[in-house]
A and B are shown apart, each in its own frame.
Chain A
């Protein structure tokens, strides 16, 4: 029977040859990811259900990456880091990346890739909705809550309903003014925030396979914004090159059968698409930048698992080189590695860091920071009636802090161009 890539990976994890969309199966989990917000309550449930002295199913398969509330004076946030540290020690978790040490990484979804945990054909569950990011590596990744994560901690298994798949094909070579962020915002506008609920979103086509891994991760990252269970892109030579550079572990490549069954198929020609934003207060509230250009903004924010990778900053630097920003512009590298790369990576003879500093941007320390608001002292948190253009993933009411603020989700090119003018600006004006 023909299967999609998602079915094939779940079939393997269920020790089956075939799984059908809609059936519930028990899966063997390859990696469980958690962080400082959901780790401590997950560990509490684990101890309550399996016993105070219980041991996790496999300490090598648990990855703990604190990233949400790191650079804050909030005492409860500090206590949560202490609880992670304590559990990691008790359980001998070698993949714990402690705050305040040289092991600290930053935003978990980007760090998972950098540290070689994303392997084609594997199954990842994480206590964060953006765990779907890892699907860019031809693997299954999805978010779960604390109770489900505690169940995995004790058993290494979880039930899941095999999703139907939706296919999104992007034809043509990517124009230089277009980014993966524009593609996913295009899809969101078309299918809305519950258009893929409980389904897999499979991305395909010439434009997709021309993208570097970081841009592919932007696409799969926002599958959850359409309600998707997972986003997935089959692994190719670009994927394998990235994986071989970060891991020596074995992996398995899967592709969808040509006659696999899809819930629906969408096809786009990227040469006909334009830079877009998602207007307040929903990721599906799409508009072309041209149609809302001139809207005044008070802040520009370039960061997060969606828009804080090296490729995002290279794009922003292309626009900001030799320019001055006219509103507060926060550059928040997702990880320590990205932050270090800003000092080495050059565009037109200057390091990215120098370009951003010369333009008047503020460079923050790597973490989730204001993407989700966070404690009151979080860098970049929106206040009062702020109007923010942001490379992050959500613009729900109050998401970046203030309930009265409005957030426009945009590509790094659009966020950088708008930072210069203080108004929503199409990046083609600067390219």
Chain B
């Protein structure tokens, strides 16, 4: 597990649902065939209405035309991030696109579980409305051990909520790695 996550912020609004994260028509691709997996990166966040993508300005594409990954590393969202369907394709698509962490005020349960148990992205919670304070393109640095977020562009520092019970699953890299570590299932 990386101790420091650093990269550019992509800022979104509230209630970002899984249809916006990966529209249902794209759920047909394989999640194991490497060529098809790239398509999940290509279409990640393609359901977000353009003026609501890359706030506060909006109309900033998450994935540039012709590419399969993003220039952004950390998503800043509002409340109820990942609401809607159970599709694990959603945190998977964000990971394929290059996202390592999401920072939001709250998460829908299934998206949160999928992010943690699948080991795709780290879902941090914050009590501040960071999507009002951070601009898309700001250079951010998360210190995983101290739960702090530094905005290297604006020089502001914020405290993230500790991951609590799920930290050990995140640290292990997912529920299977955790279960083996805790002897809940046989070693491979």
Q: For residue B57, which residues in chain A have a CB less than 8 angstroms away from its CB?
A: none
A128, A145, A193: the one contacting B117 at CB < 8 Å is A145
The yes or no answer to B24 lying at the interface (CB within 8 A) is yes
A21 vs B77: C-alpha distance when bound (angstroms): 28
Smallest Cβ-Cβ distance to B47: which chain A residue: A398
User: Could you tell me if B15 and A282 are in contact, using CB atoms closer than 8 angstroms?
Assistant: yes
Q: Is A403 part of the binding interface, using a Cβ–Cβ cutoff of 8 Å?
A: yes
- Are B28 and A38 in contact, with the CB atoms below 8 A? no
Q: Can you name the residue of chain B whose Cβ is closest to the Cβ of A394? A: B84
Contact of A37 among B80, B87, B106, B188 (CB under 8 A): B87
Q: Which one of B15, B24, B48, B87 lies within 8 Å of A374 (CB-CB)?
A: B24
Q: How far is the CA of A77 from the CA of B30 in the complex (A)?
A: 10
> Does B167 touch A at the CB level, under 8 Å?
no
Which A residues between 175 and 201 are near B, CB-CB below 8 angstroms?
193-194, 197-198
Cβ-based interface call for B98 (8 A): no
A147 touches B88 (CB 8 A): yes
Q: Are A127 and B32 in contact, CB atoms less than 8 angstroms apart?
A: no
Q: Is the CB of A40 within 8 A of B175?
A: no
**B181 sits at the interface (CB 8 A):** no
- The reply on A372 being an interface residue by CB < 8 A is yes
Contact A145 B114 (CB under 8 A): yes
A40-B30, A77-B28 known; A398-B83 Cβ under 8 A: no
Q: Is the CB of B110 within 8 A of A144?
A: yes
Closest-by-CB residue of A relative to B120 is: A147
Contact with B along A107-147 (1 / 0, CB 8 A): 00000000000000000001111010000000000011111
Q: Which residues of B contact A397 (CB under 8 A)?
A: 19-20, 47-49
Q: Return chain B residues, CB-CB under 8 Å to A374.
A: 24-25
Interface contact B87-A194, CB-CB below 8 Å: no
* Smallest CB gap from B29: residue in A: A76
Contacts of A147 in B (CB 8 A): 88, 114, 117-118, 174-176
**B175 contact set on A, CB distance < 8 A:** 147-148, 151
A282 to B49, alpha carbons, bound, how many Å?
14
Which residues of the partner chain B approach A49 to less than 8 Å between Cβ atoms?
176, 188
**In the bound complex, how far is the Cα of B109 from the Cα of A129, in angstroms?**
10
Nearest Cβ distance between residue B64 and chain A, in whole angstroms? 19
Choose one: B20, B86, B188; the contact of A145 (CB below 8 Å). Answer: B86
Among residues of A, the one whose C-beta sits closest to the C-beta of B85 is: A129
Inter-chain contact B80/A193, CB cutoff 8 Å = yes
Closest B residue to A150 by CB, please name it.
Answer: B176
Contact of B19 among A80, A126, A128, A398 (CB under 8 A): A398
Q: Which residues of B contact A194 (CB under 8 A)?
A: 15, 79-80, 83, 106, 108
The answer to whether residues A24 and B165 also contact, given A40-B30, A282-B15, A375-B28 and a CB cut-off of 8 A, is yes
- Taking A229-B109, A398-B20 as contacts, is the C-beta distance between A146 and B28 under 8 angstroms? no
Measured between alpha carbons, how far is A68 from B26 in the docked complex, in Å? 12
Residue of B nearest to A373 (CB): B24
B residues in contact with A146, CB < 8 Å: 31, 88, 114, 118
A38 touches B84 (CB 8 A): no
User: What is the CB-to-nearest-CB distance from B11 to chain A, in angstroms, rounded to a whole number?
Assistant: 17
> Please, how many angstroms separate the alpha-carbon atoms of A403 and B84 in the complex?
16
**B16 closest partner in A (C-beta):** A396
Contact of B86 with A143 in the complex, beta carbons under 8 Å:
yes
Q: Do A143 and B110 touch across chains, with their CB atoms under 8 A apart?
A: yes
Instruction: Give A44's nearest chain B residue, CB to CB.
Output: B32
Chain B residues contacting A69 (CB-CB under 8 Å) are 28
Does B25 lie within 8 Å of A376, measured CB to CB? yes
Chain A residues, Cβ within 8 Å of B24: 37, 68, 372-374, 399
A residues contacting B by CB (< 8 A) are: 24, 37-38, 40-41, 44, 49, 51, 68-69, 74, 76-77, 79-80, 126-129, 131, 143-148, 151, 154-155, 193-194, 197-198, 227, 229, 282, 372-376, 394, 396-399, 403
- Other than the given A79-B28, A194-B79, 7 more pairs (CB < 8 A) read A49-B176, A128-B86, A145-B87, A194-B106, A197-B80, A397-B47, A398-B20
B interface residues with partner A (beta carbon < 8 Å): 15, 17, 19-20, 23-25, 27-32, 47-49, 79-80, 83-89, 106-110, 113-114, 117-118, 165, 174-176, 179, 185, 188
- Name 27 A/B residue pairs within 8 A (Cβ), A-sorted: A37-B24, A37-B87, A38-B87, A38-B88, A41-B88, A49-B188, A69-B28, A126-B86, A143-B86, A144-B114, A145-B87, A145-B110, A145-B118, A147-B176, A155-B185, A193-B83, A194-B83, A227-B108, A372-B85, A374-B24, A394-B84, A396-B17, A396-B19, A396-B84, A397-B19, A397-B48, A399-B19
